[in-house]
Structure 1
Amino acid sequence: MLNTLLITGTDTEAGKTVLTTALAAYWQKYYPQRSWGIMKPIQSGIGDREWYQKLFALEQSSEEITPLYFEAPLAPPIAAARENRQVDLALVWQAFSKLRSQRDFVLVEALGGLGSPVTDELTVADLAGEWRLPTVLVVPVRLGAIAQAVANVALARQSRINLKGIVLNCVQPRTDAEIADWTPQQLIRSLTNTPVLGCLPYLDNLTDLDKLAQIASDLDWETLTL
């Protein structure tokens, strides 16, 4: 069974945290006897780490969730430079490897999108490819989503990422017609040759873990875990 999954997106507001939260809620509800963990390997400013600590009873320290933290909410190489620090990927890899060895399943939420810089030389896509992380791409349901999906899948292939599939996400309330027109699943599959695992509806309450688990259960888990 899949034991590690990287959740990335087309950009910073695609809905990575929504999907990561839903997957965590699903794992917690349907696999209570198995251990799991969450990582936000690099975080700039207050955000996702604090969210996961608030929502879940994680048996992880702040450093185990986010081994590399910067104060300024900027791209890591810029935030690191402001603090006269380096983006120490060896530290991140060590923390990730330790957590993965201790847990049955680890969710890793990437920063930004696949093209977001991690260092002056590397992007999220480079890291996902080099670390051989099974990856899901979150594509927000909006005008232009098809082009974003095509471009990001091309980047994933260039970086030799093990891309398990695409998850569409309604970042705002969307009608069925808007979803069908802006993110037609058959067309996206045809253009990217990548499975579309499902579409997350807009949620106004991201603390409803039962609802999140139910939404996650509607995803194509058979394809995801192959």
Structure 2
Amino acid sequence: MSNTLLITGTDTEAGKTVVTTAIAAYRQKYYPQSSLGIMKPIQSGVGDRELYQHLFALDQSPEETTPLYFQAPLAPPIAAAKENRTIDLALVWQTLLKLQKRHDFVLVESLGGLGSPITYELTVADLAGEWRLPTVLVVPVRLGAIAQAVANVALARQTKIDLRGIILNCTQPCTEEEITDLTPPDLIESFTHIPILGCLPYLEASTNLEQLAQVGSNLDWEILF
């Protein structure tokens, strides 16, 4: 699945959505001839699907963007149980295959973090490994980030994920000194043996496509692909 990239994170507030939109904005600006698909396989509550539809002119239906949609903003197995529904991963897989055939490049934003449950038996990490999705891990710039990065990379290795790199993300305004102190790239790379692809600054107006494309262009694309 070389034309697909999974964006996952260390937890639910790591900044996966801003990273996904930054990469999407970059691709649309600098590779306008390349068709782009975006997928949020499972969504609980209003959020990312609506944002993607607002920001990007996507050649896909809302159902293709989010095959499984639940009302309650809870972990999918719990949200599904509240609606007396099941998690139909076959539907998600078939939708992904359709997007891959139709588009040159497909971004897939996972729910939660690598350890987040998709069903009562499977986590995001399990699915990423089984479906062989090239993956980037979003690590928020804050205290405890080093330990989170190390733990998530260990989980990625355990589930045989093709982890291409780590993207640091400022979830609040950060100085260069704070970024270096809280998420020192050399130390994280030393412990994880995974390259840092860049650091996204705090974006107050995360719907500004020009700004998103600019920060997306600062990522290390040569390592990523």
Aligned counterparts of 2:121 and 2:158: Cα–Cα separation in 1: 16
Aligned counterparts of 2:25 and 2:215: Cα–Cα separation in 1: 10
Q: 3-state DSSP class of the match of 2:112?
A: coil
Q: Any gaps of 5 or more consecutive residues in structure 1? A: none
Deviation, structure 1 residue 199: 0.3
Deviation, structure 1 residue 32: 0.6
Cα shift readout 1:179-214 (whole Å, capped 9, x = no counterpart): 000000000000000000000000111111111111
Query: Which residue number corresponds to residue 37 of structure 1?
Result: 37
Aligned counterparts of 1:176 and 1:35: Cα–Cα separation in 2: 35
Aligned counterparts of 2:174 and 2:211: Cα–Cα separation in 1: 18
Determine if the alignment matches structure 1 residue 48 to structure 2 residue 48: yes
Matches within 5 A, 1:75-90: 75-90=75-90
Query: Which residue number corresponds to residue 126 of structure 2?
Result: 126
The one-letter code matched in structure 2 to 1:76 is P
Deviation, structure 1 residue 58: 1.2
Q: 3-state DSSP class of the match of 2:111?
A: coil
Query: Which residue number corresponds to residue 195 of structure 2?
Result: 195
Query: Which residue number corresponds to residue 166 of structure 2?
Result: 166
Deviation, structure 1 residue 2: 4.1
Query: Which residue number corresponds to residue 185 of structure 2?
Result: 185
Deviation, structure 1 residue 222: 0.4
Query: Which residue number corresponds to residue 61 of structure 1?
Result: 61
- Across the aligned residues of Structure 1 and Structure 2, the Cα RMSD in angstroms comes to 0.9
Aligned counterparts of 1:220 and 1:33: Cα–Cα separation in 2: 21
Determine if the alignment matches structure 1 residue 151 to structure 2 residue 139: no
Query: Which residue number corresponds to residue 139 of structure 1?
Result: 139
Aligned counterparts of 1:21 and 1:129: Cα–Cα separation in 2: 23
Aligned counterparts of 1:220 and 1:61: Cα–Cα separation in 2: 31
The one-letter code matched in structure 2 to 1:213 is A
The one-letter code matched in structure 2 to 1:62 is P
Comparing 205-214 and 14-23, the one that deviates more: 205-214
Query: Which residue number corresponds to residue 92 of structure 1?
Result: 92
Aligned counterparts of 1:70 and 1:207: Cα–Cα separation in 2: 24
Deviation, structure 1 residue 34: 1.2
Query: Which residue number corresponds to residue 15 of structure 1?
Result: 15
Q: Any gaps of 5 or more consecutive residues in structure 2? A: none
Q: 3-state DSSP class of the match of 2:147?
A: helix
The one-letter code matched in structure 1 to 2:116 is S
TM-score by length of 1: 0.98
Query: Which residue number corresponds to residue 204 of structure 1?
Result: 204
Aligned counterparts of 1:117 and 1:2: Cα–Cα separation in 2: 25
The one-letter code matched in structure 1 to 2:25 is A
Q: 3-state DSSP class of the match of 1:43?
A: strand
TM-score by length of 2: 0.99
The one-letter code matched in structure 1 to 2:137 is L
Deviation, structure 1 residue 101: 0.9
Aligned counterparts of 1:162 and 1:192: Cα–Cα separation in 2: 14
Q: 3-state DSSP class of the match of 1:174?
A: coil
Structure 1 residue ranges, 4+ long, deviating more than 2 angstroms after superposition: none
The one-letter code matched in structure 1 to 2:115 is G
Number of residue pairs matched? 225
The one-letter code matched in structure 2 to 1:39 is M
